[in-house]
Amino acid sequence: MNSAARQLNELIEIARDGQRFYQQAVYEVSDPRLQELFEFMIRAKTAVIDALSSQVAASNETLAAAGTLLGRLRQVYAETRASLASDEEALCVAQLEEAEDRILLAFEDALHDGTPETRALLRAEFPKVRACHDQLSQLKHSLG
């Protein structure tokens, strides 16, 4: 696998982790506004994943099929913490913000270290990633 496809696949896996967290979060919160926001975030992650996946497919490389092991471990950890927490919504938002931090950092690193053929695509998708991150950060601070 070439380095560009490897890098894009890593970003796809990290974005899928975030997407899965939001899919779970939709069912964990009772506030319809949060559910609506989380559904929006799922669609945003799906759009980023689709764009990156198209580039990998166009290069005739194997597409990442799942998220990361770290993402699965974080999900189990978050589920365990949520079962013990008194304020599930605040905890859920805090966990989602951590996922957004991870996605943002991965994209920033890829923009810095990426191959020339991936940088243009990453620059096009980065505003979506940044907007999701900023929106969750604002939400977390408004709840805490």
Q: Which residue has the higher pLDDT, 98 or 3?
A: 98
Domains of the chain: 3-143 (1.20.1260.10)
Indicate the burial class of 84 (C-beta count within 10 angstroms; 0-12, 13-18, 19 or more): exposed
Q: Which residue has the higher pLDDT, 66 or 53?
A: 53
**Amino acid identity at 92:** C
Determine the Cα–Cα distance for residues 65 and 51; give it in Å rounded to an integer.
Answer: 15
The tokens describing 60, both together, are 């005739």
Q: What is the pLDDT of residue 87?
A: 60
Which pTM value belongs to this model?
0.81
* CA 57 to chain centroid: 20
The tokens describing 25, both together, are 């979060």
Q: Taking residues 48-66, what's their average pLDDT?
A: 85
Indicate the burial class of 38 (C-beta count within 10 angstroms; 0-12, 13-18, 19 or more): buried
